[in-house]
Amino acid sequence: MPYLNVSGITKSFGGLVAVDGVNFHVEQGEIVSIIGPNGAGKTTVFNMLTGVYQVDVGEIVFEDHPIHNKSPQDIVQAGLSRTFQNIRLFGNLRVIENVLIGTHIHTKYNFFDSLFRTRRFQKEEAEQTLKAIEILESIGLGEHIHSYAQNMPYGAQRKLEIARAIATNAKILLLDEPAAGMNPQESEELMQFIRTLRDKGYTILLIEHDMKVVMNISDRIYVIDHGKKIAEGVSHEIISNEKVIEAYLGGGAKKDAAN
């Protein structure tokens, strides 16, 4: 059984089938990308993986445990954590607070510990804060610890989202278009960074609509269009796949391929 196995997941809204029987799998330590034109159903796949949507048909199995139709909270606990296409940070909070919220599920002291500031509270708070600082430093946000999340530059905000996901002790990071809105140089840097994350032992599942961005770093790529998987394989196979070229050129996303 693969690390994360997705088989035949389907989701429809009203009459519209957004995702139709998609299969894929991810092995531990891989970088796997799901690409496709805008509106292909990529984010819907993520939403099913993270429990935002229920799947109509199909199953998702992580580390031999089915996780489909579990609550988002249970899925985070199981080890899947995500970022968002349009950044969803806690903007009015400090950077470090954002990461501390990520550690929420692993903080064990109870409400009364915090009311009476018990030793357990002090100890755990200190541990989690140190952990948060460590994550931030490793991701290159060390000097931003005290800033408010919304006052940071765009690229740093993207990184903070990843840091926050890491803080949940995630085993698989689901990154939803992490390079959106970045210039080529910034997105290249980000991809390098994602590679270092993989080298640290994280398994990474990426969504991207611009295939150039993920070409170089992905171990394997899945292509979906109109809710269906149309191709899978390593980078050079995907580039030369006719269905993929057609989807990108013939579909509504000429601009993406032309870029």
Partner 1 sequence: MTYALIAVGFSLVFGILRLVNFSHGSMYAFGAMIALFFVGMHVNVWLAILLSIIITGVAGVVIDKMALAPLRKKKSIPIAGLITTIGVSHIIQNLLTIWFGSQTRPFPSLVELGMVDLFGTRIDARQIMVFVVSLILMGILTLVINRSKVGLAMRAVEQNPKAASLMGIDVNFVISFTFFLAGVSAAIAGGLIASTYNLVFPMMGFMAGLKGFSAAVLGGIGSLHGSIVGGLVVGVSEAMAVVFFGSAFRDSMAFVILVLVLIIRPTGIFGKKAILKV
Partner 2 sequence: MKMKMEPFNRDFITPIEQFLTKFRIPAWVLLGVFLLALPHFGFNTFIMRLFIMIGIFSMLGLGLNILMGYTGLVSLGHAGFFAIGAYTSALLMVHTDLPFLVTLIAAAITSGVVGGILGLPTLRLSGNYLTIVTLGFGEIVRMVIMNWRSVTNGVLGVRSPRPVMFGMEFTFANHGFYYTMLVLLLLTGLTSAAILHSRTGRAFLAIKEDEIAATMMGIRITRYKILAFTISATITGVAGGFYASLMPHIDHDVFTFDVSVLIVSIVIVGGMGTMRGMFLGAIILIAFPEVSRFLMEYRFVVYGLLLILMMRFRPQGILGWKSRLPYNLPKLVQKRVETGVQ
Contact residues for partner 1 (CB under 8 A)? 13, 43, 46-47, 52-53, 84
Which of residues 171 and 212 has its CB atom nearest to partner 2 in the complex?
A: 171
Q: How far is CA 211 from the centre of its chain?
A: 17
Q: HSE-up of 194 (CA within 13 Å, CB side)?
A: 32
Q: HSE-up of 35 (CA within 13 Å, CB side)?
A: 30
Q: How far is the CB of 90 from partner 2 (least distance, A)?
A: 4
13 binds, among partner 2, partner 1, none (CB under 5 to 8 A by kind): partner 1
Which of residues 15 and 111 has its CB atom nearest to partner 2 in the complex?
A: 111
* Ranges assigned E (strand) in 154-249: 172-176, 203-208, 220-225, 228-233
Which of residues 18 and 223 has its CB atom nearest to partner 1 in the complex?
A: 18
133 binds, among partner 2, partner 1, none (CB under 5 to 8 A by kind): partner 2
- Choose which of 10, 114, 235, 241 interacts with partner 2 (CB under 8 A): 114
Dist. CA 201–CA 20, nearest whole Å: 31
Q: How far is the CB of 83 from partner 1 (least distance, A)?
A: 11
Tell which positions 123-162 bind partner 2, by CB under 8 A: 123, 125-126, 129-130, 133, 145-146, 148, 150-151
Q: How many CB atoms lie within 10 A of CB 43?
A: 19
Q: How far is CA 168 from the centre of its chain?
A: 12
Tell which positions 185-244 bind partner 2, by CB under 8 A: none
Q: Which residue has the tokens 């995702």?
A: 19
Dist. CA 73–CA 213, nearest whole Å: 31
8 makes contact with partner 2 (CB under 8 A): no
230 contacts 223 by C-beta, under 8 angstroms = yes
Query: Beta partners for 57?
Result: 10
Residue ranges that bind partner 2, judged by CB under 8 A:
50, 52, 72-73, 76-77, 81-82, 84, 87-94, 96-97, 100-102, 104-105, 107, 109, 111, 114-117, 121-123, 125-126, 129-130, 133, 145-146, 148, 150-151, 164, 168
